Homo-oligomer: A and B are copies of this chain.
Amino acid sequence: MASSEEKRAVTVNEVAAEAGVSIKTVSRVLNNEPNISEKTRVKVVAAMAALKYQPNPAARRLASKRSDLLMLVYDNPSDNYLINVQHGALDACKQHFYSLLLHPCDYRAPSVAADIMQAARLHACAGLLLTPPLSDLRALIDMLDQGDTPYVRLAPSTPSIKGLEVGTDDRSAARDMTLYLLGLGHRRIGFVAGHPDHGAVGERLHGYRDALGQSGLVFDERLVEQGLHSFESGVACGQRLLELAERPSAIFAANDDMAAGVLYAAHARGLRVPEDVSVVGYDDTPLSGQTWPKLTTLRQPIRAMAYAAVEQLAAREPQARVRTLGYEIVVRDSASAPGQG
């Protein structure tokens, strides 16, 4: 099986010879350029197949300054979130023959924007995927708009006029979830807000207030705690909320990690969920199916968003600059009517 000879990769030259055309023609069909007769294109394609030709990415990149690399830029949103983004992006990459490069970074570093730009230039990236909070980093967006590397912002919260966007309507989603809780009969609903730097998550608080207003309830700011996206911050916020003299009968956390933290805080106080207190999360990350009880949560289609983001990048002419994906409430076991044994 294994030949002792070095496996020489086949090149355009050999394909050209096999097909009886010039290398430029081969290059043309490779890049789907116009001005090729159907007849020659078929010949070339056949030759490529026969020789099992695989274009050399490095050569391509050097000559064209474009690669098949997509860079996923993130600053450690929750691991659960990240892994979902990766899954979605990877699926789409496979589909479109891209490779995915990981680029973690610190969004508070003064040089992030410049660092990212440089990394993108060095790898001649075909596009960038920005996850929150980087999708709202003005300095970065501005530099990106100056250059010509396409990029897509995932779940952005600040508007912009250039650049691709893929998101959901966080505000409506949070409103619907709150309405769901209200529909169950809850009247005092605690809210654990997301990290202040993550814009889209701020929208969730607005949605919560919308639902309250729409139902004629007054907003009580003691029922809102500022979380930081982490499990630990969820535990802390949950504790404070559950210590309140007038304890909320339900708590809505702006992401699943924090909801799991609230669950923990409830258990630690000997409270049963959902009998004594209902808890709901947001995102439908894997974690939400691995807690006791399983979390009722809001499926923000993270994976689908990442998939769509890559497709936006892949499309020569994106249908729309901004795409908004739907959401749905995933009812599991952590919420019920108040006071129900």
Residue numbers of A with Cβ under 8 A of B are 2, 7, 9, 54, 56-59, 61-62, 67, 79-80, 82-83, 86, 90, 99-102, 104, 118, 121-124, 143, 146, 231, 257, 260-261, 263-264, 267-268, 286-287, 289-294
19 contacts between A and B (CB under 8 A): A9-B121, A54-B118, A56-B62, A57-B123, A58-B58, A58-B67, A58-B124, A79-B79, A79-B80, A82-B83, A86-B102, A99-B102, A99-B123, A100-B102, A231-B286, A231-B289, A257-B290, A264-B294, A291-B291
A7 and B146 CA atoms in complex are apart in Å by 11
Known: A101-B99, A143-B2. A57 touches B286 (CB 8 A): no
> How far apart are A159's CB and chain B's nearest CB, in angstroms?
21
Chain B residues in 8 Å Cβ range of A289? 231
Tell me if A83 and B79 are in contact (CB < 8 A): yes
Task: Determine the residue in chain B with the shortest Cβ distance to A333.
Answer: B268
Q: Which of A58, A90, A122, A292 has the most CB of B within 10 A?
A: A58
> How far apart are A146's CB and chain B's nearest CB, in angstroms?
5
Tell me if A122 and B57 are in contact (CB < 8 A): yes
Contact of A286 among B58, B79, B102, B267 (CB under 8 A): B79
Please give the count of copies of this chain that the complex contains. 2
Tell me if A104 and B90 are in contact (CB < 8 A): yes
Task: Determine the residue in chain B with the shortest Cβ distance to A78.
Answer: B286
> How far apart are A261's CB and chain B's nearest CB, in angstroms?
8
A39 and B108 CA atoms in complex are apart in Å by 39
Contact of A292 among B56, B100, B101, B292 (CB under 8 A): B292
Tell me if B292 and A290 are in contact (CB < 8 A): no
Chain B residues in 8 Å Cβ range of A257? 290
Task: Determine the residue in chain B with the shortest Cβ distance to A93.
Answer: B102
Chain B residues in 8 Å Cβ range of A2? 143, 146
Task: Determine the residue in chain B with the shortest Cβ distance to A54.
Answer: B122
Chain B residues in 8 Å Cβ range of A80? 79
Chain B residues in 8 Å Cβ range of A122? 54, 56-57
> How far apart are A119's CB and chain B's nearest CB, in angstroms?
8
Contact of A267 among B54, B83, B292 (CB under 8 A): B292
> How far apart are A70's CB and chain B's nearest CB, in angstroms?
11
A272 and B161 CA atoms in complex are apart in Å by 55
A2 and B147 CA atoms in complex are apart in Å by 10
A86 and B85 CA atoms in complex are apart in Å by 14
A286 and B83 CA atoms in complex are apart in Å by 13
Chain B residues in 8 Å Cβ range of A261? 290
Tell me if B286 and A264 are in contact (CB < 8 A): no
> How far apart are A210's CB and chain B's nearest CB, in angstroms?
30
Pairs A-B, 8 closest by C-beta atoms: A58-B61, A58-B62, A267-B292, A79-B83, A231-B290, A2-B146, A100-B102, A260-B290
Chain B residues in 8 Å Cβ range of A267? 292-293
Contact of A264 among B83, B121, B123, B290 (CB under 8 A): B290
Tell me if A101 and B100 are in contact (CB < 8 A): yes
Chain B residues in 8 Å Cβ range of A57? 122-123
Known: A62-B62, A100-B102. 15 other contacts (CB 8 A): A9-B121, A56-B62, A56-B122, A57-B123, A58-B61, A90-B102, A90-B104, A99-B123, A100-B101, A101-B101, A102-B102, A231-B290, A264-B290, A287-B287, A287-B290
